[in-house]
């Protein structure tokens, strides 16, 4: 694994540089996206939008894939990851992407939906360049800590602290999604390169545990120690225990 430590205001430019290199090498790259607060907090998507406008990033040949989605809400629900991606990235890109894939958390047959999504991934030959965040409990995508982790796309229970409970868009606690569709280990391990961003002092413990501790499914991000091409982008706060 490669670690890069920088100030938080350097994160967006560094990630955009890495993406630019990727798209120069392979204009028809399959780009794996992430949700969470980091892409917004550190201006990651905004920098892509700016560089596209400036003619420095060209998404014309790219395909976007998201690794997870909340179960029980429609794609157009304000809290869905589909909506998140539209609002924060896709609707601002000049290149209107027909090709953006995300699991459907409102599918009637979830097992079938997992299979469909795996087929999409296989047809794309998996992801070339995966942007990732890091959950405070060590999750990546929505692969939550567990005794074992499925190989293919699956339905996972969301840890209580990771449910979007603070949202004004759910009127009762029961409406808050408690499950997610997420990619499994095959899709993580077959991503040709992974750029993981974890910044902020509150991530220092999990960063140390995941990347210097034992490899265990109880800390899903630790499995990235087995991946041959991971770049971890940190700030001084999150790197302080390494
Ligand atoms: C959500 C996403 C994860 C992401 C995580 C990190 O749970 N499903 O894929 O890694 O948030 O969030 P943040 O960037 O807010 O720390």
- Burial (CB count within 10 angstroms: exposed 0-12, middle 13-18, buried 19+), residue 103: buried
pLDDT at 96 over 90: no
Ligand 1, atom nearest to 162 Cα: 7
Q: Residues 128-138: pLDDT tens digits?
A: 999 999 999 99
Q: Residues 158-173: pLDDT tens digits?
A: 999 999 999 999 999 9
Q: What integer pLDDT is reported at residue 95 of this predicted model?
A: 76
Reading the block at residue 74, the tokens are 């429609």
User: What is the reported pTM?
Assistant: 0.97
pLDDT at 98 over 90: no
Three-class DSSP category at 62: coil
Asked whether 66 and 73 are in contact (CB, 8 A), the reply is no
Reading the block at residue 14, the tokens are 């560094």
Q: Residues 12-69: pLDDT tens digits?
A: 999 999 999 999 999 999 999 999 999 999 999 999 999 999 999 999 999 999 999 9
Whole-number mean pLDDT of the chain?
Answer: 96
Does the CB atom of residue 134 touch ligand 1 within 6 A? Answer: yes
Q: Active site residue: 47, 52, 66, 68, which one?
A: 68
| C-alpha triplet 115, 117, 122: angle, nearest 5° | 95
Residue whose CA is at the smallest distance from ligand 1 atom 3: 141
pLDDT at 97 over 70: no
Does the CB atom of residue 35 touch ligand 1 within 6 A? Answer: yes
Q: List alpha helices for 54-95, DSSP H.
A: 81-88
At 99, the pLDDT band (50, 70, 90 cuts) reads confident
Contacts of 56 (CB under 8 A, 6+ apart): 20
The arrangement of secondary structure in 2-239, i.e. its CATH architecture, is 3-Layer(aba) Sandwich (3.40)
| ipTM for the complex shown | 0.95
Ligand 1, atom nearest to 35 Cα: 2
Q: Residues 136-155: pLDDT tens digits?
A: 999 999 999 999 999 999 99
Q: What integer pLDDT is reported at residue 45 of this predicted model?
A: 98
Domain boundaries, the chain: 2-239
CA dist 209 and 119 (Å) reads: 33
Three-class DSSP category at 181: strand
Does the CB atom of residue 135 touch ligand 1 within 6 A? Answer: yes
């Amino acid at each position: 694994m490669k670690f890069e430590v920088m100030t938080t205001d350097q994160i967006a430019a560094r990630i955009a540089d890495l993406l630019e290199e990727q798209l120069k090498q392979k204009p028809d790259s399959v780009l794996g996206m992430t949700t969470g607060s980091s892409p917004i907090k550190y201006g990651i998507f905004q920098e892509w939008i700016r560089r596209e406008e400036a003619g420095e990033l060209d998404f014309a040949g790219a395909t976007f894939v998201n690794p997870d989605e909340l179960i029980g809400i429609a794609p157009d629900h304000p809290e869905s990851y589909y909506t998140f991606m539209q609002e924060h990235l896709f609707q601002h890109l000049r290149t209107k992407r027909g090709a953006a894939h995300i699991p459907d958390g409102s599918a009637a047959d979830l097992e079938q939906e997992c299979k469909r999504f795996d087929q999409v991934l296989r047809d794309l030959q998996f992801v070339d360049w995966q942007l990732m965040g890091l959950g405070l409990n060590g999750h990546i995508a929505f692969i939550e800590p567990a005794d074992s982790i499925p190989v293919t796309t699956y339905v996972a229970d969301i840890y209580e602290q990771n449910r979007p409970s603070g949202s004004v868009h759910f009127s009762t606690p029961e409406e808050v999604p408690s499950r997610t569709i997420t990619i499994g280990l095959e899709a993580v391990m077959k991503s040709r390169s992974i750029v993981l961003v974890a910044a902020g002092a509150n991530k220092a413990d999990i960063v140390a545990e995941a990347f210097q501790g034992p490899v265990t499914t109880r800390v899903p991000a630790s499995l990235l120690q087995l991946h041959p091409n991971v770049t971890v982008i940190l700030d001084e706060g999150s790197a302080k225990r390494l």
